[in-house]
Amino acid sequence: MALSRRGFLAASAAAVGGTALGTSLAGCSSNAAPAGTTTINHWDWYVSQAPWLQNEIKLFQQKYPKIRINRTVQATDQYPNLINLAIRGNEAPDFFMIPASPAFDNQVSMGWMRSLDDHATAQWQSRFPSGNFFNGVDMVADKVYSAPFSGATPWLQLYIHNGLFKQAGLTNPDGSVKVPRTWDDVTAAAAAITSKSGGRAYGIGFGNSDSSVLPWWLDLFVRGAGSPAGYGTDGPDYRVGKWTFGSDRNYADFIDLVLEWKSKGYIYPSVMSIGDEQARAFFQQGKFGMTVGGVWNQSTWQQNGFTDYTLTTLPSPTADPKAFFYYQPGGELFAISSQSKVADAAWQWFDWIYSEEAGERWVSSGQGLSIFPAANQNAKISFKPFQEYVSYRKWALTWPVPSIRNPEAAKVTLPNVTPDLPNVLTGLYTGQISDMASALSGLEDRRNQALATGVKQAQAKGVKVSLSDWVFADWDPTKPYLNKSA
């Protein structure tokens, strides 16, 4: 997927404000269904992506007038629980977006999903780029349960307010905005905007009222410094199979930089009391010149008529980044319920969503990249910021996946870590935590102990797994990793 799943969920949750929508939309038509119509109950959490999906439903029902899609929109924060309750109550939707938890393998073992092998034949799989169906990713025990949907590109970008940059004289000889590429460039731009605005604007802003956004900044900045795990939600530094928050100085160096920005007055003062949605509005209004977010920002700003911005990614201490964004090959987004009584019709809807044509419309509508390279190439993209976003796909590489090399690794469940990175960063920013070295070392120890505990608990159940499954000593973070099944 183009976004890390956790990041994507965070973006979606911000868009809905944490409110449980529970909205049922019976296709795109209020006309009575003709006799013999089959209804597919569909669940997802799409908000900013909803116009694309609603159009796909419309097109699908035009081709298949006797199949109706009854779409229900759920909020991300409640989605795993709602799916679980629906399945336990034998009221599962026929077709659903796969929740982030529990683990994919666990959802299959609990009987949530229907195997697609009757339809997802080798011929059907061959329409996807090679190397996209793996046990532990979209397959379990050699059976297909889902399929990859999105193409990969960095899920976070640094957004630049063109108007404020120009007012501060941050321009090239041709008058275009001088895009910051290094940490020093960002600092210099923040200083210029803050000093030259006469108190009307700040260099940097974000909304961290729920502690979720400061980790985005860290994730975006430390990767280019050579820390490939970034935020660390998708896995440790696979070169050593461990999280390295305390032992890798890039983390402390970046936090020191943020605290320097704060002490010099470059950061909008209310960042800890506003949320990401409000921060996006403030950026649009010119209250600060730089913010971090994802492609979901663009649709919001475009709806509001704001297009005067530029974006970049992977600002690094040096001119060239030393590590990038990463993704696992394959992927999963939608599934068909094992309880569905209309599975054949649900497959037709699944096949439609996973078509190259739907992928091309996904890209053309500015939602992200498609798993199909041809769809990305043929998409009609007229919006310059989205073109910039698409161009950064060169900074997204495949990385090692333990569950591909050893499918048993997918059965390991890590216990929750508390306090985790969002709590630590918030505490350091507000001054509630003063000893950074101790805080980061403690976080590193908690994360690594969680992995050790998860592996030990799995071993006790007879799972053939070890901590060495998370170590890929041959991985070069500057090159795509070729995952191989066991």
Alpha-carbon distances of 178 from 35, 50, 206, 406, rounded to whole Å: 62, 35, 21, 46
- First-to-final CA distance of the chain: 23
> Which superfamily, per CATH, for 5-152+332-399?
Periplasmic binding protein-like II (3.40.190.10)
Which pLDDT value is given to residue 8?
Answer: 41
Judge contact between 325 and 155, C-beta under 8 A: yes
Q: At what angle do helices 421-430 and 436-460 cross, to 10 degrees?
A: 170
Among candidate residues 190, 191, 183, 198, the one with its CA nearest the CA of residue 161: 190
Which pLDDT value is given to residue 32?
Answer: 61
Q: What's the rounded Cα separation, in Å, for the pair 290 and 190?
A: 8
The model scores a pTM over 0.85: no
SS3 (DSSP) at 157: strand
pLDDT digits (tens, 9 = 90+) for 145-167: 999 999 999 999 999 999 999 99
> DSSP string covering 420-438, please?
-HHHHHHHHHHTS---HHH
Reading the block at residue 421, the tokens are 């990175």
Q: What's the rounded Cα separation, in Å, for the pair 125 and 75?
A: 31
Which pLDDT value is given to residue 486?
Answer: 66
Give CATH for domain 157-327. Answer: 3.40.190.10
Which pLDDT value is given to residue 429?
Answer: 98
Q: What's the rounded Cα separation, in Å, for the pair 228 and 249?
A: 13
Which pLDDT value is given to residue 22?
Answer: 54
Among candidate residues 150, 95, 104, 50, the one with its CA nearest the CA of residue 349: 95
Domains 5-152+332-399 and 157-327 share a fold: yes
Which pLDDT value is given to residue 1?
Answer: 37
Domain ranges in the chain?
Answer: 5-152+332-399, 157-327, 407-470
Residues 6+ apart with CB under 8 A from 381: 363, 364, 366, 387, 390
- Spell out, as residue ranges, where the chain has pLDDT lower than 70: 1-33, 486
Going by their DSSP bridges, the two strands 157-161 and 143-144 should be labelled as: unpaired
